[in-house]
Amino acid sequence: MIRLYKASFLGFSGIPARFQQMLRSPRREDKSFATSSIRGDMQEAAGCPLVHIGGPVFDERFSDVLVTFRQNFEESLESEGAAFSVFFEGRLVVDLYGVLWGENTRSILFSTSKSICAIVVVKLVDEGRLSYDDKVATLWPEFGQNGKENTTIRHICLHQAGLPYQSVITTADDFKNPQRIAELFESATPIWEPGSQVGYHALSIGLLIDQIVRRVDARSRGIAEYFKEEIQSKYGLLSEISFGLGNKSENGSVAVVKQASEEEVVEEGRRNPEALRRWNLGDNHHNAELYRQFHWITTKDYNKIENRLLPMPSNMGIGTARALAQVHSLVANGELFGSDTLAMISSGPELLEEFDVINGYAESKGYGFQFTKNPKGQWIFGHSGFGGQNVRVDVHNRLAYAYICNGLKISDADMVETFTSIKMGRRPARCYRYIKNKPYPKSRFCRGVPDPKIRIFDLGRKKANVDEFPLCVHMISNEREHLSSEALEAARICANKYMVKNCGKDGFHMRVRKHPYHVVRINKMLSCAGADRLQTGMRGAYGKPQGLVARVDIGDFLLSVRVRDQNEEHAIEAFRRAKFKFPGRQFIVVSRKWGFTKWDRADYERMREEGRLVSDGVNVQYVREHGPLSKWVNNPI
Closest CA to 327 of 119, 122, 121, 126: 119
Confidence of residue 74 (pLDDT cuts 50, 70, 90): confident
User: What is the dihedral angle through the alpha carbons of 366, 367, 371, 376, rounded to the nearest 10 degrees?
Assistant: -110
Averaged pLDDT for residues 132-155 = 96
Helix (H) or strand (E) holding 606: helix 601-609
What is the reported pLDDT for 274? 80
| CATH architecture type of domain 71-424 | 3-Layer(aba) Sandwich (3.40)
CA 279 to CA 259: how far, in whole Å? 14
pLDDT tier at 545, thresholds 50, 70, 90: confident
* Separation CA 492–CA 141 (nearest Å): 69
Confirm whether pTM is higher than 0.85.
no
pLDDT at 616 over 50: yes
pLDDT of residue 16: 38
Q: For residue 527, is pLDDT > 60? A: no
Does 50 score more than 60 pLDDT? no
pLDDT of 36 higher than 50: no
pLDDT, position 49: 40
Q: From 3.90.1150.10, 1.20.58.100, 1.10.3720.10, 3.90.1170.10, which CATH number describes the 443-601+608-614 domain?
A: 3.90.1170.10
Q: Is the pLDDT of residue 187 over 90?
A: yes
Q: Which of 569, 542, 316 is nearest to 446 (CA)?
A: 542
pLDDT band at 23 (very low <50, low <70, confident <90, very high): very low
Return the higher-pLDDT residue of 162 and 624: 162
What's residue 281's pLDDT? 78
Of residues 32, 67, 53, 58, the one with CA closest to residue 101: 53
More confident: 51 or 313: 313
Q: Which amino acid is at 208?
A: L
Q: Give one word for 448, left, alpha or beta, with left for phi > 0 and alpha for psi -120 to 50.
A: left
Query: CA 373 to CA 404: how far, in whole Å?
Result: 20
Asked whether residue 598 carries a pLDDT value surpassing 60, the answer given is: yes
Instruction: Examine the pLDDT at 14 and tell me if it is beyond 50.
Output: no
At 93, give phi and psi (nearest 5°): -110, -20
452 and 483 Cβ atoms separated by less than 8 Å: no
**For the chain, give me the number of helices (H) and strands (E)?**
19, 25
DSSP 24-64: ---S--S--EE--SSTT----EES-----EES-B-SGGGHH
Provide the pLDDT confidence category of residue 160 given band limits of 50, 70 and 90: very high
pLDDT band at 526 (very low <50, low <70, confident <90, very high): low
Q: Where are the alpha helices (DSSP H) in 136-295?
A: 136-139, 153-157, 178-186, 204-216, 223-226, 262-271, 273-281, 285-293
Domains in the chain: boundaries = 71-424, 443-601+608-614
Q: Between residues 58 and 534, which one has the greater pLDDT? A: 58
Average pLDDT over residues 386-392: 93
3, β-bridge pairs: 33, 590
pLDDT at 443: 66
CB atoms within 10 A of CB 149: 12
Q: Tell me whether the CATH fold assigned to 71-424 matches the one assigned to 443-601+608-614.
A: no
Residue 27 predicted with pLDDT over 80: no
- Model confidence at 347, in pLDDT bands (50, 70, 90)? very high
Amino acid, single-letter form, for residue 416 = V
pLDDT beyond 70 at 550: yes
**Three-state secondary-structure class, residue 440:** coil
pLDDT number for residue 414: 74
Pick the more confident residue, 33 or 373: 373
Question: How far is residue 590's CA from residue 36's CA, in Å, rounded to a whole number?
Answer: 8
Nearest Cα neighbor of 330 from 269, 268, 399 is 399
Cα separation, 464 vs 503, in Å, equals 14
pLDDT band at 35; cut points 50, 70, 90: very low
Condensed to tens digits (0 to 9), the pLDDT of residues 450-485 reads 899 999 999 999 999 999 999 999 999 988 899 999
What are the φ and ψ backbone dihedral angles of 2, each rounded to 5 degrees?
-100, 135
- Confidence at 78, pLDDT banded by 50, 70, 90: confident
pLDDT at 405 over 90: yes
Contact present, 547 and 485 (Cβ < 8 Å): yes
Q: Averaged over 118-134, what is the pLDDT? A: 96
Residue 113 has pLDDT above 80, yes or no: yes
pLDDT at 19 over 50: no
Cα 85 from Cα 92, distance rounded (Å): 7
pLDDT digits 0-9 by tens, 472-522:
999 999 888 999 999 999 999 999 999 999 999 999 999 999 999 998 877
Q: 405 - beta bridge partners?
A: 82
Half-sphere exposure of 540 (CA within 13 A, CB side): 9
Proportion of the chain above pLDDT 70, given as a percent:
83
Task: List the single range of 221-235, 318-332, 356-370, 610-624 with lowest mean pLDDT.
Answer: 610-624
- Computed from CA positions of residues 569, 574, 577, 582, in that sequence, does the dihedral angle turn out positive or negative? negative
